Structure 1
């Protein structure tokens, strides 16, 4: 069984190679695989915290991005991905749990709000998230806003 290394870094702590690897995986999944042309790399990346798992060859296998918003009582994460050939290993659960653990440790008492793809509602419900919006289209993909009270 392969071991995975958890990495948590702010954008300014990433090497150029790490940042390019993150952007390549995000664009590959959210733009190419999901056939959704949109501005995947955005201004939130300047201040994001990147949480990712790497394999023994230092390849990214799972990833999330933590961002702060305008509301000081709320923190968010998104861009949750697992590289296609690793999706059968439950790494989505592992990366989301690591993200939640980091948020609870570093941003205590903040509510966690996400915009989840609609088909993943039950996955996020299993972590305690509750729906706070009806389903809506974002970049032509059904989403729902969810919140986790801590």
Structure 2
């Protein structure tokens, strides 16, 4: 498995296509949730993924703070359906948190977690900062990680 991190302008058209296809295949098709996948945040974000050969097996988007959210955030967290249950999501989150701290020196990380995954995110030290709410028809919880567990 190889980890790749790129800014939007470093993505090849082939890489961008594969990233967007995976995001749409899971978030729109598999989860039956038609929503605006292209939300204007990709250009300012870092894109992190793991690949085996040419297949993207895990991906997330790291959005800088001060735009969409106050704090830098981890979003579009996704593991290819054929690689679920292999611990890849844990490796992806660890890598994403490490990149945010190294690249941007962040001490707080925000995410909008699907409610059924809140326990997974809590295992990294994320804390609930909202009640459950529907986002595009799926229950979510806003969560925040703070360095040192403040």
* Fold match by TM threshold 0.5: yes
Q: Which residue of 1 aligns with 2:56?
A: 60
Match of 1:35 among 18, 32, 56: 32
Residue 129 of structure 1 corresponds to which residue in structure 2? Answer: 126
Q: 1:75·1:110 contact (CA, 8 Å) conserved in 2?
A: no
CA deviation profile, 1:4-60 (whole Å, cap 9, x unmatched): 1000001100100000000000000000000000111221011110000000x2210
Structure 2 stretches of 5 or more lacking a match? none
Unmatched runs of 5 consecutive residues or more in structure 1:
none
Residue 141 in 1 paired to residue 138 in 2? yes
- The reply to whether residue 90 of structure 1 matches residue 87 of structure 2 is yes
State whether structure 2 residue 65 is matched by structure 1 residue 69: yes
* 1:91-112 deviation line (CA, Å, top 9, x unaligned): 0001111000000111214310
- Cα distance in 2 for partners of 1:120, 1:65 equals 17
Runs of 4+ in 1 over 4 A off after TM superposition: none
In the alignment, the residues of structure 1 paired with residue 31 and residue 74 of structure 2 have an alpha-carbon distance, to the nearest angstrom, of 19
TM-score, length of structure 2 as denominator length: 0.93
CA contact (8 A) 1:67 1:76 kept: yes
Correspondence for 2:19 among 17, 22, 41:
22
Q: CA RMSD in A?
A: 1.3
> SS of 2:23's equivalent?
helix
Cα-to-partner distance string for 1:73-100 (whole Å, 9 max, x where unaligned): 6100100000001002110001111000
Q: Which residue of 2 aligns with 1:118?
A: 115
